[in-house]
Amino acid sequence: MRTHNPVKGNTKTPWIIYVIFSLLAIISAIGLDFIHWTKGEKSYVFSIFGIKEAEKPEISISQIFLDRLLTQGIPDDAISRFKDTTGTDHLKVDLSLAEYQNIEPRLKQDLQNAKALIVRKEEQEDTEKTYYLWDVQRSETEKLAILFSCKKEQPVVSEFPPVSEPKNKVALIIDDMGYSLDAIYDILSLQEPITVAIIPYSPLGEQTAQIAHQSGLEILLHLPLESINNTEANNGIEGIISADMSEQEIISLVEKNLDQIPYISGVNNHMGSKITPDAPLMYTILQRLKQRGLFFVDSRTTGKSVAYDVALQLEIPTAQRQVFLDNELDEDTIREKLIELFTLAQNGGEAVGICHPVPETIKVLKESFRLAKEYGVTPVFISELVR
């Protein structure tokens, strides 16, 4: 009798099954990695191949305003929103005057951070309310109109005497503006009354003036004048006034320079060690400023300058610089010069300083300009110190 052995099953799994499961595991891992990548989370596969994360959409200026309003406790029912036929967003906000004054600087800072401009700002009022109208723009297509409606409050009679005019004042002028928009935004971040001096024909001069004006800063024309020992600069600056020019050439060039930068309230000199000691030349230049109703600040690039004296003779409001903060680009030295400026204002009642928008100076100003209060000194625009 034949004995039949039972047939043994194949205990080995075919290799194709391992391959299939391996492929499924790889595909699943890649899929999960892709999901993490799209969410902005850490990616392994896509980062290995140099694939960048998808850029997050830019927050609209309307949303920036709404976020700030809600953060400051303005309720939803106080905010109305609509879009007109041109695609411009409109916001209307009902709030108190105190709330507006509290939120205004924060909104300005938010817009500066978002590279948006306040292209128009108006104030209107009736018997019951004060209205503030802002037109904001970040591009040709992204615009926002916002109306703040502030109910007038009954005046409160104070039991305290009015605050007296500050006795010790310091004015800081930042020269050589017009070559970087980062510079004007850095200055605005200080939130201090700083005067900016913009060089005519600088590539970003007009735009810098626009931003400064909208943000409430004071603007000077930084008028280039010939230097004795800086031949390279003399030859490289458009609009520079030279000592060998005729009177008519100087008059024409001064007028053209003044037309380059909008919103100026005065002028200070860029270089000028060959021009400012020459009384007749300064008389010709300053006469044009007087006709335009502009004041003059002598930068004192040479101890031989007579520009301040000539301005006084012409009865032009004028001032002169006491301290250059950054002749040496060393943070400790710049800080020492800033303290020197505050000390002069503390002891003499007022002082004028000049510096430049270089990284070392901006860093010191961000860290130490607040020390003015410790010296009993009030920062002001230079227009408050001309006489």
pLDDT, tens only, 332-346:
999 999 999 999 999
Mean pLDDT of the 212-216 span: 93
Specify the CATH number of the domain 169-384.
3.20.20.370
The reported pLDDT for the residue numbered 2 is 47
Asked whether residue 151 carries a pLDDT value surpassing 80, the answer given is yes
The reported pLDDT for the residue numbered 158 is 40
Q: CATH topology for 61-151?
A: Beta Polymerase; domain 2 (3.30.460)
Mean pLDDT of the 57-68 span: 85
The residues spanned by each domain of the chain are: 61-151, 169-384
Q: What percent of the chain has pLDDT over 70?
A: 84
Could you tell me which residues come within 8 angstroms of residue 136 by beta carbon, excluding any fewer than 6 positions away? 61, 65, 111, 116, 117, 118, 119, 143, 144, 145, 146
CA-to-CA dists, residue 281 to 242, 247, 258, angstroms: 10, 8, 17
289 with 257: CB under 8 angstroms? no
Distance, CA of 101 to CA of 76 (rounded, Å) = 19
Asked whether residue 43 carries a pLDDT value surpassing 70, the answer given is no
Mean pLDDT of the 51-63 span: 68
Query: Exposure of 161 by Cβ count < 10 A (0-12 exposed, 13-18 middle, 19+ buried)?
Result: exposed
**Which of the pair, 98 or 289, is modelled with greater confidence?**
289
Residue 16, SS3? helix
* Range of lowest pLDDT (50-59, 176-185, 278-287, 312-321): 50-59
Helices (H), the chain: 15-38, 45-48, 61-71, 97-113, 181-189, 205-214, 231-236, 247-260, 279-291, 307-313, 331-348, 359-368
Asked whether residue 52 carries a pLDDT value surpassing 70, the answer given is no
The reported pLDDT for the residue numbered 251 is 98
Tokens 């005057």 sit at which residue? 97
Asked whether residue 159 carries a pLDDT value surpassing 50, the answer given is no
270 with 236: CB under 8 angstroms? no
The reported pLDDT for the residue numbered 44 is 61
Cross-strand bridge partners of residue 82:
90
pTM here?
0.61
**Which of the pair, 61 or 236, is modelled with greater confidence?**
61
Asked whether residue 299 carries a pLDDT value surpassing 90, the answer given is yes
Asked whether residue 349 carries a pLDDT value surpassing 50, the answer given is yes
130 with 152: CB under 8 angstroms? yes
Query: How sure is the predictor about 16, in pLDDT bands with cuts at 50, 70 and 90?
Result: confident
CA-to-CA dists, residue 134 to 95, 104, 150, 228, 263, angstroms: 15, 11, 14, 48, 19
